[in-house]
């Protein structure tokens, strides 16, 4: 079985459009949450979001190509291009047949459905864009990355709500293990910033209404958390076989050890409060990685900042890690990045990989009042310099889909 | 006031992401301006929208089949009384 190495990173997020800025801000406790600027939110109960600001598609792709993509695909292509550049990835024609993409999303081009529906209603069927179907289809994150980078192996696009991003890394590992691919551009993307989903999630009471303090709104594990902050962005990792990476002398961030998936089989939105579904994903991930709980030093938690998730995740971590749970450094990137939904798992993976590479754990910001139900070490408010031998990234989605992926410091 | 050619040129530049000086009356949409079948459908919609204040018209599929160059678009618009 080949080993799977992380040799490149691309992050297009509310806290940075480069890996340098992303990591700098993530470890300095900078929030990417602001008042909504993309549209008029005055009629909504929620006026805050984590937007990707200053994104210019033409920096990453030709503008005609960009016009045929929904924003979720544009962000994915940009993140994939940045990851390929970061890895200094060069593919010969033969190698392209063994290069794949795995780009997950929660809702794909749902924005375009909303917009074209208005065109259909207000201006009639003759005005509907001929690009609508290939723009909105959720597989287009993966397919556009493959078109853009010339990857002729499989293009996979998992849809697993807020666990989506993590599925990609498990698929990437399987593609390498099975010998189907030598390199996979894997990650998640989401760009669904629109009044419709915000209204729906607000009515569900899932979103923070801390409109007067955007930077303080996402407060995972804090007693006064009141929901997550809707975000957008894309994160892509280059996952490469050890033999290929070695042959070209690639820089290695970390080794992708494996991951675990499970389903709560319980409720469409609420997690199992006994934590057993999420626990099973983490336990499976450890088993797939061939590691013991005590081998893990850091968990990039799902940590959404909803009252239910953070308590249930805490229970699940205790079940999966036993006594070692109290020795773990745990933090929620969402406290700064916001909740990138289908890309959230990939954000967690990037945080885990960079924590291993830099021996530095990003904090959970806005953690001011401890919640008795959340009594582990969430690295409050300040990054922590510490040895990170191995780390896990968690993601749990509506529908009860759970994912956990384990990375380890690369030992040649 | 912009001429009809200038207005068509602006629509073509916006839709096909080409340079303004590439858009000449003789320019072929496919060969010179690199449009594909989806682009041409999209372009006809944009032309309809841009000129809907000038005259009541629709670019039907059989009309679109005869549109190959910028001049063909101008000729079609002239037939609708848009000069």
pLDDT digits (tens, 9 = 90+) for A286-342: 999 999 999 999 999 999 999 999 999 999 999 999 999 999 999 999 999 999 999
Q: Supply the pLDDT for residue A127.
A: 87
CA atoms of A140 and A121, how far apart (whole Å):
25
Q: A374-407 b/e with 16+ CB inside 10 Å = b?
A: bebebbbeebbeeebebbbbbbbbbbbbbbbbbb
Report CB contact under 8 Å: A126, B48. Answer: yes
SS3 for A38?
coil
Residues A258 and A167 sit within 8 Å (Cβ to Cβ): no
Residues A377 and A384 sit within 8 Å (Cβ to Cβ): no
Torsion sign over Cα A43, A46, A48, A54: negative
Residues A198 and A46 sit within 8 Å (Cβ to Cβ): yes
SS3 for A223?
coil
The mean pLDDT of A394-398, rounded to a whole number, is 95
Torsion sign over Cα A206, A211, A213, A215: positive
Measured CA angle at A162 (ends A392, A43), to 5 deg: 135
SS3 for A236?
strand
Measure Cα distances from A217 to A13, A45, A207 in Å: 17, 14, 9
Q: Which of A57, A61, A62, A64 to mutate to test the interface with B (most CBs of B within 10 A)?
A: A64
- Count, residues in chain A: 412
DSSP code at position A37:
-
A238, A242, A244, A246 alpha-carbon torsion, rounded to 10°: 110
The mean pLDDT of A186-205, rounded to a whole number, is 96
Within 8 A by CB and 6+ apart from A257, the residues are A4, A288, A289, A290, A291, A390, A406, A407, A408
Kind and range of the H or E run holding A405: strand A401-408
**Catalytic (active site) residue B10:** no
- Residue showing tokens 């990170």: A388
Q: Supply the pLDDT for residue A176.
A: 98
Among candidates A63, A126, A131 on the partner chain, residue whose Cβ is nearest the Cβ of B17: A63
CA distance A131 to chain B (A): 7
pLDDT at A117 over 90: yes
pLDDT at B21 over 90: yes
pLDDT at A204 over 80: yes
Measured CA angle at A96 (ends A92, A98), to 5 deg: 120
Q: Supply the pLDDT for residue B38.
A: 84
SS3 for A314?
helix
Indicate which residue of A143, A148, A194, A339 is catalytic.
A339
Report CB contact under 8 Å: A62, B17. Answer: yes
Report CB contact under 8 Å: A130, B48. Answer: no
Confidence band, pLDDT 50/70/90 cuts, at residue B83? confident
pLDDT at A74 over 80: yes
- List of chain B residues whose C-beta atoms are within 8 Å of the C-beta of residue A67: 17
Range name among A67-81, A216-230, A239-253, B49-63 with the lowest pLDDT average: B49-63
Structure-block tokens of residue A311: 């308590």
Q: Which of A57, A120, A126, A132 to mutate to test the interface with B (most CBs of B within 10 A)?
A: A126
The mean pLDDT of A244-262, rounded to a whole number, is 97
- List of chain B residues whose C-beta atoms are within 8 Å of the C-beta of residue A57: none
Q: Residue A361's beta-bridge partner residues? A: A384
Measuring CA to CA, which residue among A328, A266, A269 is closest to residue A295?
A328
Q: Supply the pLDDT for residue B41.
A: 86
Which own/partner pairs from A53-58 qualify as long-range (CB within 8 Å, at least 24 positions apart)?
A: A53/A14, A54/A17, A55/A12, A55/A17
CA atoms of A387 and A84, how far apart (whole Å):
28
Residues A346 and A234 sit within 8 Å (Cβ to Cβ): yes
pLDDT at B1 over 90: no
The mean pLDDT of A37-41, rounded to a whole number, is 96
CA atoms of A199 and A242, how far apart (whole Å):
46
Q: Supply the pLDDT for residue A62.
A: 86
Confidence band, pLDDT 50/70/90 cuts, at residue A156? very high
- List of chain A residues whose C-beta atoms are within 8 Å of the C-beta of residue B58: 126
SS3 for A311?
helix
Structure-block tokens of residue A5: 């190495």
CA atoms of A380 and A359, how far apart (whole Å):
17
Q: Residue A390's beta-bridge partner residues? A: A408
CA atoms of A99 and A76, how far apart (whole Å):
16
What is the interface size between A and B, counted as CB pairs within 8 Å?
A: 21
CA atoms of A237 and A76, how far apart (whole Å):
11
- List of chain A residues whose C-beta atoms are within 8 Å of the C-beta of residue B45: 126-127, 129-130
Measuring CA to CA, which residue among A104, A161, A232 is closest to residue A396?
A161
């Amino acid at each position: 079985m080949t080993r799977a190495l992380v040799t490149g990173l691309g992050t297009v997020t509310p806290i940075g459009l480069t890996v340098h800025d992303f990591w700098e801000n993530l470890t300095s406790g900078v929030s990417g949450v602001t008042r909504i600027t993309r549209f008029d939110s005055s009629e909504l109960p929620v006026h805050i979001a984590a937007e990707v600001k200053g994104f210019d598609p033409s920096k990453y792709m030709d503008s005609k190509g960009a016009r045929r993509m929904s924003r979720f695909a544009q962000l994915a292509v940009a993140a994939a291009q940045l990851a390929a550049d970061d890895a200094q990835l060069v593919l010969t024609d033969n190698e392209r047949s063994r290069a794949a993409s795995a780009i997950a999303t929660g809702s794909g081009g749902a924005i375009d459905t909303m917009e074209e529906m208005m065109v259909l209603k207000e201006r009639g069927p003759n005005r509907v864009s001929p690009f609508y179907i290939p723009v909105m289809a959720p597989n287009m994150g993966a397919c556009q990355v493959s078109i853009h980078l010339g990857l002729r192996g499989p293009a996979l696009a998992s849809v697993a709500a807020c666990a989506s991003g993590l599925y990609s890394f498990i698929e990437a590992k399987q593609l390498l293990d099975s010998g189907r691919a030598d390199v996979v551009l894997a990650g998640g993307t989401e760009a669904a910033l629109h009044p419709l989903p915000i209204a729906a999630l607000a009515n569900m009471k899932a979103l923070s209404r801390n409109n007067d303090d955007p930077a303080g709104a996402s407060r995972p594990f804090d007693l006064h958390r009141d929901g997550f902050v809707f975000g957008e962005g894309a994160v892509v990792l280059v996952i490469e076989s050890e033999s290929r990476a070695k042959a070209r002398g690639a820089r290695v961030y970390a080794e992708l050890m494996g991951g675990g998936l499970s389903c709560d089989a319980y409720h469409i939105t609420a997690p199992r409060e006994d934590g057993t579904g999420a626990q099973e994903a983490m336990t499976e991930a450890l088993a797939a990685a061939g590691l013991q709980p005590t081998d893990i030093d850091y968990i990039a938690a799902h940590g959404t900042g909803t009252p239910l998730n953070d308590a249930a995740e805490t229970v699940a971590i205790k079940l999966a890690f036993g006594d070692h749970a109290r020795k773990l450094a745990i933090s929620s990137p969402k406290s700064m990045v916001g909740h990138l939904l289908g890309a959230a798992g990939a954000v967690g993976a990037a945080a885990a990989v960079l924590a291993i590479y830099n021996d530095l754990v990003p904090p959970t910001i806005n953690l001011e009042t401890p919640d008795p139900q959340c009594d582990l070490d969430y690295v409050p408010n300040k990054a922590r310099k510490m040895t990170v031998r191995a780390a896990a990234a968690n993601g749990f989605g509506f529908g009860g889909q759970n994912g956990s992926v384990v990375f380890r410091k690369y030992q040649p | 006031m912009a001429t009809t050619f200038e207005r068509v040129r602006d629509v073509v530049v916006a839709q096909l992401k080409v340079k303004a000086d590439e858009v000449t009356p003789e320019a072929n949409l496919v060969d010179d301006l690199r449009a594909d079948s989806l682009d041409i459908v999209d372009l006809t919609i944009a032309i309809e929208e841009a000129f809907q204040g000038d005259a009541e018209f629709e670019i039907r599929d059989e009309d679109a089949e005869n549109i190959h160059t910028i001049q063909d678009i101008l000729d079609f618009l002239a037939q609708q009384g848009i000069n």
